[in-house]
Structure 1
Amino acid sequence: MDRTERFYKIELLLRSRGCVGFDALLDELDISPATLKRDLQYLRDRLSAPIVYDRFENGYRFEHADTHALPGARHELPGVWFSEKEIHALLTMHQLMAGLDDDGVLSRHLQPMVDKLQGMLGADESEARELMRRVKMIATARRRTPSRHFELLGSALVQRKRIWLRYFKRTDRSTSEREVSPQRLVNYRNTWYLDAWCHASEGLRRFALDAVQEARPLDTRARHVAVKDLEAELDAGYGIYSGAGSTLKWATLVFQADAAQWVANEEWHPQQKARWLDDGRYELQVPYSDPTELTMDILRHGDSVVVTGDKALATAIAARLAKAAARYA
């Protein structure tokens, strides 16, 4: 544990316990008495920490500890301060991010910060492993992304540079070469996507990173697209199938009471509209342009949902159900 970590640890102990004895501080920090005395003196003299020795409690505490909860009364070390709860929350978030990170790209870059946070808590390696095991992320149907592509695309996105892609398009099983200007990285249902301006088609497109066969950076400056324009073009439709440039439609779904209790607590789209019907059913309206993903989510609920008011979508759902039933005949 370096000196900065010790300073944070001392403040954390005093703030959480109120008053801490000299021997208890030595045990927590695993340092010599001389080093602890120097640390306490440095905190007082150089960092203006209001640490005092309480003769009655035989320990160190913050002066006027009862006022620390008031605005402006709490002492903080220079730089970013984290409370113990905040450190636990950050470590939890790191574990969640690791669940989205097959090749450890994000974890590798964030590991120095994680080590620092663990040092502030005074947690040893075994304690840290135990903490991480208390957070579990279950990801199904994950499509893996090569780390070399993720790092390259992330770097180009930050540096605002164009990239060249060789991309496999699953719909017609074709391969194409494209020059694109990265705009945004998106993680959706355990899969990474790149939102980019495609200079071949002169429009915004969304690329699945696992379908990128080859990528290399270009020196050319990327074309800038405002975030509001990006959201209006790619986020208006349903799910990941934005249907860029397509007309937006609204689907009305009526769920039976057995499914309604679950669906009522779900967000299918940020702009969705919903209401309870008098007979206990639940009506959900969502915008869409490309019906691909919406169809899959509707079929997931089987006979517990009916599409109303959209003849084309209802006909497509009925055809899929009939085809599926015929396979089990």
Structure 2
Amino acid sequence: MSEVVRLYRFKGLLSSRAAISADELMTALEISRATLKRDIAKLRDQLHVPIVYNRELGGYQLERDQTASELPGLWFSQEEILSLVTIQHLLEQLEPGLLGAKLQPLQKRLAQLMDKHGLASQDVAKRIRIVHAGKRQVVAKSFELVAAATMAGKRLNIWHFNRQNGITTEREVSPQRLVHYRDNWYLDAWCHLRDDVRNFSIDAITQLEVLETKAKEVSTKAIDQALGNSYGIFNGAAQAWAKLKFTPERARWVAGETWHPMQETAFDADGSYVLSFPYADDRELIGDIMRYGADVQVLSPATLRSKVQKCFLEAAAKYV
């Protein structure tokens, strides 16, 4: 195990026992006596963990009233530092400006660590590029309030704009989890107006307030049953199975994609790729099918096949 993991485990062992012998520590941590002495010295001298040896109990312990002390942390290897910086930069590119102010202290600390390990020349910004497609702007304050309520288990009163019918509805919801899907943020929540699980696009929340009322807790299983079996972001129990057939040329790409967790796949003799999966709402599905133009054919159900055909014919008519 890495040193940082071992030292945290060392601290945990000391906190969990009245006293623990050197032999027990070496066995639990799988280290030599020499490493044990170095670890104790580092914990005491560099990290200021109050370790003492109790002769009566025959083992090491933390000084009384110091069992709740925390390690100051953030001592990592070069690889771990670069990984942290990379993750931080990915978050920054994922949602520019959304958490910038909140991450500044972390950025400063990571920069200091990079300098210490001779990594100052590593310009992460030049090594990572995220391309956004169809990304909608989220108001930073709205995202922060939604995230805070979700983590704190508090209800929200929201005004949500329904793009399908153009109507804004006020409703009270119990946030369950945040979802980042296709470059946009959504909230899975229990809707007290509809008395059911619903999914809300955070950028479509025009106004909101965090309530002091405790949120209704919904099990992950129940949320997945309501939202996880449908296709894409739309909720609802699966109503039908879509069966699509892709050309051999397009199969080279689609065969490596996951369209649905429950999908079933097969190759025909000519190399065509057949993909089947359940869906509840066909709006997003039709758009995805049409992206492939002549490289895809809807085999079933007939209703979906008819809708896709109608969409293609209407699109073609605009170019006559």
Q: Would you say same fold, with TM above 0.5?
A: yes
| CA–CA separation in structure 2 for the residues paired with 1:94 and 1:104 | 12
> 1:45 offset after TM fit, Å?
7.5
- Of 75, 83, 88, 1:94 maps to 88
The corresponding residue for 1:39 is none
Amino acid at match of 1:86: E
Give the structure 1 partner of residue 98 of structure 2: 104
Q: Which amino acid aligns with 1:142?
A: K
| 1:261-310 residue CA offsets vs partner (Å, 9 max, x unmatched) | 01011111122111111111111112211011111110000000111131
Residue type of the partner of 2:41? Answer: R
Matched, 1:132 2:125: yes
Q: Name the residue aligned to 1:46.
A: 41
Q: Does 1:266 align with 2:261?
A: no
Q: Distance between the aligned counterparts of 2:98 and 2:210, measured in 1? A: 22
Deviation at 1:118? 2.7
| Residue 162 in structure 1 maps to residue 162 in structure 2 | no
- Determine whether 1:316 maps to 2:307: yes
Question: 1:178 aligns to what?
Answer: 171
TM-score by length of 2: 0.75
TM-score, normalised via structure 1 length: 0.73
Contact 1:102–1:144 at 8 Å: present in 2 too?
A: no
Greater Cα shift, 126-135 or 181-190: 126-135
Question: 1:114: how far off?
Answer: 3.1
Is 1:287 the counterpart of 2:282 in the alignment?
A: no
Structure-2 separation of matches of 1:129 and 1:324: 49
**Residue identity in the other structure for 1:178:** R
Task: Tell me the CA shift for residue 95 of structure 1.
Answer: 1.6
1:303 alignment counterpart:
294
Q: How far is the alpha carbon of 1:234 from its aligned partner?
A: 0.9
Amino acid of the structure 2 residue aligned with 1:119: Q
Cα distance in structure 2, aligned partners of 1:122 and 1:190: 33
For structure 2, the residue ranges without an aligned partner over 5 or more in a row are 5-37, 45-70
Output the CA distance in 1 between the equivalents of 2:267 and 2:107.
Answer: 46
Cα shift at 1:258: 1.1
Q: Distance in 1 between matches of 2:77 and 2:120?
A: 18
Partner of 1:191: 184
Change (3 A) 1:211 1:85: same
**Contact 1:181-1:198 at 8 Å conserved across structures:** yes
Match of 1:234 among 224, 227, 232: 227
TM-superposed deviation, 1:247: 4.0
The one-letter code of the counterpart of 1:139 is H
- Identity value in percent: 36
Q: Residues of 2 paired with 1:278 and 1:123: CA distance?
A: 59
Give CA-to-partner distance per residue, 1:162-215, whole Å, 9 cap, x none. 011111111110111111100011111111111111101101111111111101
Distance 1:159 1:184 in 2: 11
How much does 1:137 deviate? 0.6
Q: Check conservation: 2:177, 2:188, Cα contact below 8 A.
A: yes
Q: Residue by residue, what CA displacement relative to the aligned partner does 1:48-87 show, whole Å, maximum 9, x if unpaired?
A: 79xxxxxxxxxxxxxxxxxxxxxxxxxxx98465322222
Q: In the TM superposition, what is the alpha-carbon distance from 1:123 to its structure 2 partner?
A: 6.5
Asked if structure 1 preserves the Cα contact closer than 8 Å seen for 2:246 and 2:295, the reply is yes
User: Does 2:145 align with 1:152?
Assistant: yes
| Contact 2:171–2:192 under 8 Å retained in 1 | yes
Aligned residues: 260
5+ residue gaps, structure 1:
1-7, 9-42, 50-76
